[in-house]
Structure 1
């Protein structure tokens, strides 16, 4: 028997291309409007003056700018609603290729916005590129989770977050005044380059074998894809596990979101992904990324130094993402550190000590790790996974939108104490994970499903004669004949 724990060239390249073409853009567009915000707001004001021959009022400018920032996560919310129908129709890889439309088109729009003298184009383009991020943030983890062997699922699950943080860092570096900080239209338009690269290269790599076998019923193509990904011909054991999952789901068919909500056997899995995604996005991290310059300015950082402090934050975040490992422990550590970080950030803002916000921002990045999506992949079986990701993504992006839209007004009304709200949310999420979420590392999808059966108060037996799941592993001959109750 060959070891499953093996990274092949095909698996590595498929992972890197999927993550660079999609996750990198997500991170890049989170941070790209922060550094050039001053110049973009000047453009808004100048354009308004030319149109209406009077300066823009301060509250109107604040509203327009918060819309420019928050249209990105709002687009992400609508992108998440498109996940289930697209991945079921086009597959995982096919959806990623289709999704590049929502990157290339807005990249062109943002690139010509200054020539067109229209800030409305920027707001609309931010919404469209948000759709791209909403789709990719759900589909990339789903794709990687399905092409990876179970003992590499967590390791490959880190890759999208790594590319998100690298994208954030690249936007921060390019935003330095001496690089592209003054050329904000070029900065915004660069988001189309990763999409073009993915569009050219990803077609040469396999579709998800699980999708082809379980949802398309094409065992021949699934076997070929699995052989390419694993680097050897003997993939019978993985195909057997997929067939078991397929047989256990045949009575369910493809679950819609509404049918998913009514499934008693998936109740706690669904609650868990909602809590984890809501906690992740309401942890305060996105407020820092969207409005870093404003926050650091409030903390007493000199205006000339803010851009370098922001870049330093991004660099340490990349390092922390690379070194992050685990599932449940990482979730607990991430939310715990972020809770403390928000409290320290509140103190730092009150005392005007700027280095503390930098260090606490770095710590907060742990809660932005990809583990909620990795766990979501493992908590749901094939037919329920698209609908589950649709729910998780909707909560993720709706919470992100709320932070992007509300934080400027929250900062005005509560000042430095606005981060106490985020600290409470992190603490509540941590307690829930401690009490409810199990360790899913190195478990098959069926084993994870069995772990939740007791909490959901359902009987979970497969096959003739009430054959339990754990005996299915020990008796593959019976497993091939098994049918669900």
Structure 2
């Protein structure tokens, strides 16, 4: 019989305790736990227990058993899995490395976002104000080249191609972001994105002089590719260089710079500035300016320490980069936090899309990051901006001033995204995301009601403005800010690039779908256009409330362990509900402690 002293296990990870179970006796095993007073668990064993046969020990604790040879005799190890805490909190048992926001860290974050995220936003909104001038250019160029005036359908096709080809390029860039991240690194990948911005800027600046609408369309494709790749690389770089206690705030900088880019393009595109017949090509070409500044500074900034340590297997380079970012000599905690990933990375083959999809251990993380990417585009934010002009006119704002009212909406978007930066580390990702989605549902419902009743009462138009602003605020603090970087938190170093590439591809594809489907849907749905988006946000919000954990202040290892624990808990519940195996008493192959037992590793 195994003594009580021998049966007390050492806890290496939070929520898991292992102990030897002997010959049919009952043993009291102490379960150490760094964050609770859970002390003793009574485990009942029999000689017939074998691997993966389960005992329901308590309503909050599940136990599974494994056969193995210990000290020369066959026995069994029982593993207790303590159920997840309330409100999806991840209970960490690891001393998390924290740090302050240094000048070097701030500079790296600013340059990365300024050089890639701001051009992303710029090219998203830059065609709105000078749209009629560009249509005139397409019309004139086609007429002079082919000697005939293009029909309305052909002209509309050329204009649609100029707008939507940017999204096609973005899909391609997002798909390749993971390859750039793994093969050349995060920093060098951002430099490559800048090259695409340079080339596009030259084509934008010269397309009118060359009288070539093909150059305009090609430039939009090229800049879209660069922005698509940057949309995956920037959040990855920002989260990997940041201490845990400011990781969320730094991750939001991508979306903040993106919204600033949209707003700046609308301001500088006004008729009083560059929104003029002979100046609009230079308006489009300004996308190259942040790329130029970024390319001048990025080479002097460190690469992601996590990439250097885990991917390039260089502890020395990672330590040097960490000392620059943290401005501290002792970065041992950061290095130790990465060390386990280094060991695992050495034992694993390269992560590809195929391996990502086949790995069942990552199915929930992949589902979450995909839901967030899709929800961001299918939330209806583009529909709100589409309706903004009509809402402002209905409130009595003269049509000549509606562009300024729309600018005010963009300013609110930027301000609220900026406010979400400190809120991200105070309130947490989960609470902020769900609160924003609730506000979006309420506001979209309000817009549906007020737009339907606007002919009954004039003051309904003012409620429409309030609902519109509420929707923008809800989006800015939730679905606007969080999906872009939380994918980097949910995955370890290996699967992170392909996972974020796939999520980015989905995000851009959904943008294309909304851009194509909404103009076709709007004539039939009119003021009820928000209803499908309300249903989508409600559905995705329920799923995220159910499955998304809070990642604030957690190491990548702690987040990974949370999903492992949840998966084991689900397996336990499933097997408890299944019929007992009739062959359970048949002998099974055993092995030594620490080796594989039917595919599971025992430590």
| TM beyond 0.5 | yes
Q: How many residue pairs were aligned?
A: 467
**2:108 aligns to what?**
14
**Is contact 1:299–1:349 with CA below 8 Å preserved after alignment?**
no
Determine if contact 1:83/1:135 at 8 Å carries over to the other structure. yes
Tell me the CA shift for residue 428 of structure 1. 1.3
Q: Quote the residue 1:355 is aligned against.
A: 465
Q: Does 1:78 align with 2:172?
A: yes
Task: Show the counterpart of 2:229.
Answer: 135
Deviates more, 1:200-209 or 1:447-456: 447-456
Matches within 5 A, 1:63-74: 63-74=157-168
Once the 2 structures are TM-superposed, how far is the Cα of residue 54 of structure 1 from its aligned partner? 4.4
Question: What are the residue-to-residue correspondences of 1:25-424 with 2, within 5 Å?
Answer: 25-182=119-276, 183-288=279-384, 302-324=398-420, 325=423, 326-350=428-452, 351=454, 353=461, 355-356=465-466, 358-360=468-470, 362-363=472-473, 364-424=475-535
Higher RCO structure, 1 or 2 (CA under 8 Å, sep 6+) = 1
The alignment status of 1:435 with 2:546, answered yes or no, reads yes
For residue 123 of structure 1, report the CA deviation from its aligned partner: 2.1
Distance 1:134 1:373, change over 3 A: same
Q: Which region of structure 1 is more displaced relative to structure 2, 360-369 or 447-456?
A: 360-369
Offset, 1:200: 0.4
Give the alignment's TM-score, normalised by structure 2.
0.72
Specify the SS of the correspondent of 2:544.
helix
Whole-angstrom distance in 2 between the partners of 1:59 and 1:278? 31
8 Å CA contact 2:197, 2:223 repeated in 1: yes
In structure 2, the CA distance between the partners of 1:415 and 1:290, relative to structure 1 (3 Å rule), is: closer
Q: Assess, with a 3 A threshold, how the Cα gap between structure 1 residues 47 and 298 changes in structure 2: closer, same or farther.
A: farther
CA–CA distance in 1 between the matches of 2:124 and 2:171? 14
- Return the structure number with greater helix share: 1
SS at match of 2:246: helix
Question: CA 1:360–1:49 in structure 2 vs 1: closer, same or farther (change >3 Å)?
Answer: farther
Mark the runs of 5 or more structure 1 residues left unpaired by the alignment: 468-482
CA shift in 2, pair 1:223/1:384, >3 Å: same
Q: Displacement of 1:242 after TM fit?
A: 0.4
Q: Which has the higher strand share?
A: 2
- Once the two structures are overlaid, the 10-residue window that deviates more, 164-173 or 58-67, is 58-67
Q: CA deviation at 1:114?
A: 1.7
Match of 2:567 in 1: 456
Kindly name which structure, 1 or 2, has the bigger radius of gyration based on alpha carbons.
Answer: 2
1:341 to partner: Cα distance: 2.9
Q: Structure 1 stretch 284-293 or stretch 392-401: which is displaced more?
A: 284-293
The Cα of 1:390 is off from its aligned counterpart by: 1.0
223 and 81 in structure 1: CA distance in 2 versus 1, 3 angstrom threshold: same
Give the drift of 1:368: 4.2
Q: For the residues of structure 1 that align with 2:593 and 2:395, how far apart are their CA atoms?
A: 67
| More displaced 10-residue stretch of structure 1: 378-387 or 412-421 | 412-421
Q: Distance in 1 between matches of 2:434 and 2:471?
A: 17
Distance in 2 (CA, whole Å) between partners of 1:136 and 1:212 is: 19
Contact 1:298 1:349 in 2 (8 A): no
Q: How much has 1:406 moved relative to structure 2?
A: 3.0
442-451 or 54-63, larger mean C-alpha shift: 54-63
Q: Which of 101, 115, 118 is the matching residue for 1:24?
A: 118
CA distance in structure 1 between the aligned counterparts of 2:391 and 2:515, rounded to whole angstroms: 14
Distance 1:71 1:106 in 2: 13
Which sits farther off after the overlay, 184-193 or 296-305? 296-305
Q: Counterpart in 2 of 1:447?
A: 558
Q: Distance in 1 between matches of 2:237 and 2:532?
A: 34
Structure 2 distance, partners of 1:186, 1:379, is: 41
Q: Structure 1 127/418 Cα, relative in aligned 2: closer, same or farther at 3 Å?
A: farther
Deviation at 1:287, TM superposition (A): 4.5
Give 1:69 deviation, angstroms.
2.1
372-381 or 444-453, larger mean C-alpha shift: 372-381
Report how far residue 339 of structure 1 moved.
2.6
Aligned-residue Cα RMSD (Å) equals 2.7
Change (3 A) 1:294 1:117: farther
Contact 2:433/2:479 (8 A) holds in 1? no
Q: Is the 8 A contact 1:282 1:403 kept in 2?
A: yes
Distance verdict in 2 for CA 1:360–1:169, change over 3 Å: same
- Of residues 55-64 and 13-22 in structure 1, the stretch that sits farther from structure 2 once superposed is 55-64
